[in-house]
Amino acid sequence: MDKRPIGVFDSGLGGLTAVRELRRILPGEDIVYFGDTGRVPYGTRGRDTILQYARQDVRFLLAQDVKFIMAACGTVSSVYPTEEAAKLPVPYTGVVGATARAAAAATRSGRIGVIGTAATVRSGSFAAVLAQLDSRLEVRAKACPMFVPLVENGYVTPGDPVTLAIAHQYLDELRDAGVDTLILGCTHYPLLTGTIRMVMGPDVALIDPGRETADAVKDALEQLELLNGTGGTARYFVSDAVEQFRQVADLFLGEYAGGPVEQIPIETY
């Protein structure tokens, strides 16, 4: 048994969808979450800037004495070097591997769509993993840069006219291409599931990276004998106003809302 918390970070609030899943399937674990709300979004930044931010986020979580780090950010997961992650003093996972495996298992036709930030799509990370899993898979990717600010500002009601119009612009070509599985390659995007499904139709499987990666974290903790059965708390840290976090966080966390929130100077890490 290891009583240290699980560390989770994201460029903003999207990673809270992963926290919600972790709290659901690992109710005895303590969690420390950092959302870089002062520098969101990461997906429009260059690779060097994304890596600088990710390294600061990781250093902050390590300072909280976490036992495991989850990058609940598709952008970071797509560019953070595997060899660097392997040198961290605690186990680390991004969201790409588990999400791609779930999509490969779900597709019936072999046609898989990927939506994500510009940096995620540019990296080709999901397509690369899917090709390793099955070279016959046909992967189409589409950057959806407006989805993150829409979610961060609360435009998540299914069928919201603004969000729906933008979703059609992004997703119509993937629907028309006949994909039967769609990777929501950013942890913000599950909050738009209702609108995305209105565009894609009821028969397209939507793959939630937070849910899939939370399951992978559980499996890893079991294998490493790092589980803790007596915790269940969550602490939240942000790099911008706490009030803004509180206004939106409940939407992401649902029944798992609550917990102390603190603003920290992430640039010092």
* Burial (CB count within 10 angstroms: exposed 0-12, middle 13-18, buried 19+), residue 210: buried
Nearest partner of 199 among 171, 179, 161, judged by Cα: 171
Helical (H) or strand (E) element with 93: strand 92-93
144 is catalytic: no
73 annotated active-site: yes
Name the residue with tokens 């269940």.
Answer: 232
CA 159 and chain centroid, separation: 23
State how far the Cα of 114 lies from the Cα of 125, in Å rounded to an integer. Answer: 10
DSSP 148-192: HHHHHTT--STT-HHHHHHHHHHHHHHHHTT-SEEEE-STTGGGG
Phi-psi region of 225 (alpha: psi -120 to 50; beta: other; left: phi over 0): left
Name the strand (E) or helix (H) holding 212.
helix 209-224
The one catalytic residue in 31, 73, 214, 248 is 73
Find the helix or strand (DSSP H, E) in which 111 lies: strand 111-116
Residues 58 and 69: beta-carbon distance below 8 Å: yes
Per annotation, catalytic residue among 98, 167, 186, 217: 186
Instruction: List, by residue number, the catalytic residues.
Output: 73, 186
